[in-house]
A and B are shown apart, each in its own frame.
Chain A
Amino acid sequence: MILREPHVYRPQPGVFDEVFAPGGVPREYAEALVAELTKLGPAELAGAGRRRDAIFVQQGITFDATGEDGPVKDRPFPLDLVPRILPSHEWDHIKRGLAQRIRALNHFVDDVYHAREIVHEGIVPWQLIVSRPNFARQMHGIRPPGGVYCHVAGCDLVRDADGSWRVLEDNVRTPSGISYVLENRTAMTRLVPQLFNRYRVRRVDHYPQLLLAALRAVAPAAEGEATVVVWTPGSMNSAYFEHSFLARQMGVELVEASDLVVRDDVLYMRTTSGLKRVHAVYRRLDDDFIDPLEFRPDSLLGVPGLMRAYRSGSVALANAVGTGVADDKAIYHYVPEMIRFYLGEEPILQNVKTFLLGDPEQCRYALERMDQLVFKPTGESGGKGVFIGPSTPADELEGLRDVILRQPEKWIAQEVVKLSTVPTAGLDGTLAPRHVDLRPFAVFGEKIKIVPGGLTRVAMNEGSMIVNSSRGGGSKDTWVLDDGAGTDGDQASPDEVVNVPQSLPGLRYASWTGQAQQQQQTRAGE
């Protein structure tokens, strides 16, 4: 073991550190933060950390992780008390790039289920699209209210060694994490208020209002009369905290499948005073489970007939059904082309260089460089099944090679990005560089609005680039600095009403039973 001088922060060579420039001098926008942290000292920072854990456990801000000895339940969500700062020009760049990307993805989803122009133009192969596990044939020909598909998007961004931003992954199904953004900010102002002293940090707490406004904007109801609900798969779901948090913050009902019923082609919610029509559903479960008549027949979480109601246009679902075709990891490769094709613009944010292993030439190239690339299964999210070549033992890579060669079209390879670092407090309060990514949250109703910052995830172990909270990652409060140039439409209008009291959920019914007939013939003479 190498002993180091205490309290000396050493940025890693060849990695972009967001607080200290090469040579160890704080970047201009971070000077005040460094000064406050120095004044605070490691002991006080560590003490604030212990208070944070106690509060999070008490408030139920916890999550379930996979530890070395199996699943770990109800750990306090690990918030690192050193914030991440994004100067306003940096944020403007990200925001424009994301809005552009989400518009293109939204076009793509519409195109896939209707005209298929991008296929006819020879840009994306049809067989690739239809073989994506999240391509939803049930969505064919359905145009959702307002023409919006990707109501909530959470793309993952990383910063390369030269400080440039890149999109690592798109997520336009049910991205989670926004509740931590809001809770983190609240916790920071309580635990380390002095860090905010010399900064004007843009607010994030209006996210629920932005979401509610977007849901109302797409709801097929007269102005001011839309009933909106949040649909959770239930309290066993790992993101249940967030589902209930958002419902409470928006002042709308949190429902499960048993609270919902379709009559003819209209969706209703059961209440103590009878059925109440629902116009917009923020649903936090995958397509496969939403309607057993059209998706998995064995799904007990779903609402039979929901697709019929959706098809008739009487209800908006957010996100739309079938958006998973757009955030597939093989489709990701084509996003820059989509931006050019649908918008006639050059991409503002670049992709990470990606190889489609379904293509024999790209596959051969990637398999010759397994120890230099990252390998990902295309249908998964949340870091599941990812192999980082440089840190994977050679024999494991050999096994992976066999797996890939069996179904190469189910894999992609990407160049390794050396994620940027931000000083992060250890248990004793001393600071060390840790790798981070960023998941900003965009909401698309009438227009695309993006909450300043987003969820910064941080790999808590030295050198690690795995930031997923389910695999030991932590988070940071993300500060977008206000340079006084205005908030350009990211704030909710003040007249959005929130915190309407919730009524009691209605009766719960017994389970559903399915009926189907096997196809068989009775042959003549039998």
Chain B
Amino acid sequence: MHFSIRYLTEYRYDHEVTDNLNALRVRPATTSNQRLDDFQLRVDPEARIGRHQDYFGTDVLEFGISRPHDHLTIDVRARVVTGEAVDPPDAPWESLGHPAYELAGGEFLLPAPDEPDHAMLEELVGVARANSPLKTLHWVTELIPDRFRYQPGVTYVGSTVSDLLDGGAGVCQDFAHLALILLRRQGIAARYVSGYLWDAQEDGGDDSVEVETHAWIEALMPGAGGRGEPVWVGADPTNRRLAGETHVKIGHGRFYQDVPPIRGVYQGTAGAELKASVQMTRLDPQASARA
């Protein structure tokens, strides 16, 4: 699929603030089934943009506005081409013990540092195991939305898996965090993915939809039959499916805090009003995409 994405963030402050510093992780990655054709970032008030790749390979854009200002606009535009992911390999549980698997999984095999001590989690971990790692991955993307309501507003950016378990509801960030724990507890390497999701209904026919930034996961699947290179497979526990050409990846990390789309601080105690929107538009005709 061919998308144009516009991610517009506007802050309005009660009164003037200074030294407003922000780090953005909003630039779509280039991967084996995703290509970034064009990318622009405009900031108002104007600022010099610094760019580097972080530890996980995500592009980070940084800027600071030192002079007093009462609003900040961050305008991100990208054009991306995505392809359908290849069929994930299936392999027996024993293949997780292979040294090549452990090497490729690295730190994404380690237990999450803030894994809650929660009876419901133990129950879910027990239920989550299926006949193979791949079947487990599929099952986890069903299990989580079966057991938890998708409901914006009940959790916030700093919520923990414990909050999700207690409240029974959350958003994609919370669902992804839970999926990571369930998979790692089975010995499957798993990482948090931040990105954009083309979220039009199948036959809606809209060429442009208003979305928000999205979170899903990638799990490391051993090569087919336990031979060959392990591969990272995207899976979306909010939408009950593997990630595909509707998912535009920005980057990955161990959890949300490693790939937050926007992180910023400013001097002063002024309150801020935030308006953020992600507009995705399909540039290729839908008919040809379906063909």
Contact = CB atoms under 8 A, between A and B. Distances in A.
A294 B23 CA distance: 9
A198 interface: no
Interface in A372-424: none
B212 to A, nearest CB: 5
A118 interface: no
Given A126-B106, A293-B23, A304-B19, A512 B266 contact: yes
Contacts, number: 139
A453 B238 CA distance: 62
A137 B60 CA distance: 14
Given A510-B268, A523-B199, A263 B212 contact: no
B64 to A, nearest CB: 6
A305 interface: yes
Max chain B CB contacts within 10 Å: which of A263, A297, A513, A514?
A513
Nearest to A263: B66
Contacts of A293: 21, 23, 263-265
A126 B11 CA distance: 41
A521 B212 contact: yes
Contact of B272 (A138, A265, A513, A521): A513
B256 interface: yes
B157 A517 contact: yes
B43 interface: no
Interface string B194-219: 10010111001000011111110000
Given A510-B268, A512-B265, A127 B107 contact: yes
B173 interface: yes
A516 B272 CA distance: 11
B270 interface: yes
B262 A517 contact: yes
A140 B212 contact: no
A522 B201 CA distance: 12
Contact of A304 (B21, B55, B239, B261): B21
Contact of B9 (A292, A312, A513, A517): A517
A131 interface: yes
A262 interface: yes
Contact of A515 (B56, B172, B262): B262
A117 to B, nearest CB: 16
A517 B269 contact: no
A311 interface: yes
B265 A265 contact: no
B150 A523 contact: yes
Contact of B213 (A510, A517, A523): A517
A519 interface: yes
A515 B200 contact: no
Chain A interface main SS type? loop
Contacts of B157: 516-519
A525 interface: yes
Interface in B257-286: 258, 260-270, 272, 274, 276
A236 interface: no
A127 B109 contact: yes
A522 B280 CA distance: 13
A460 to B, nearest CB: 38
A69 interface: no
A521 B199 contact: yes
Quick one: which of A141, A312, A519 has the most chain B CB within 10 A? Answer: A519
A127 B110 contact: yes
Contacts of A305: 21, 62, 64
A521 B9 contact: no
A141 B54 CA distance: 8
Interface residues of B, number: 61
A524 interface: yes
Nearest to B210: A522
Contacts of B91: none
Given A137-B55, A515-B274, A524-B199, A304 B265 contact: yes
B264 A311 contact: no
Contacts of B268: 509-510, 513
A304 B173 CA distance: 25
B52 interface: yes
A300 to B, nearest CB: 10
A361 interface: no
Contacts of A519: 157, 171-173, 194, 212-215, 256, 261
Interface in B147-167: 150, 152, 155-157
A521 B196 CA distance: 9
Interface in B226-260: 238-239, 256, 258, 260
B290 interface: no
A462 interface: no
Interface in A321-335: none
A489 to B, nearest CB: 38
A516 B263 contact: yes
B22 to A, nearest CB: 8
Contact of A140 (B55, B211, B238, B239): B55
A520 interface: yes
Contacts of A515: 11, 22, 262-266, 272, 274
Interface in A243-301: 261-265, 292-294, 297
A261 B261 contact: no
A513 B209 contact: no
A519 to B, nearest CB: 4
A62 B106 CA distance: 46
A524 B204 contact: yes
A128 B106 CA distance: 10
18 contacts: A127-B106, A127-B109, A140-B55, A141-B53, A510-B269, A513-B265, A513-B270, A515-B262, A515-B263, A517-B274, A519-B172, A519-B256, A519-B261, A520-B213, A521-B197, A522-B199, A522-B212, A524-B199
Given A131-B107, A515-B22, 18 more contacts: A126-B106, A127-B106, A263-B66, A264-B48, A293-B264, A305-B21, A308-B50, A509-B267, A510-B268, A513-B268, A513-B269, A516-B262, A517-B9, A518-B156, A521-B199, A521-B212, A522-B152, A525-B201
Interface of B: 9, 11, 17-19, 21-23, 48, 50, 52-56, 62, 64, 66, 106-107, 109-110, 150, 152, 155-157, 171-173, 194, 197, 199-201, 204, 209-215, 238-239, 256, 258, 260-270, 272, 274, 276
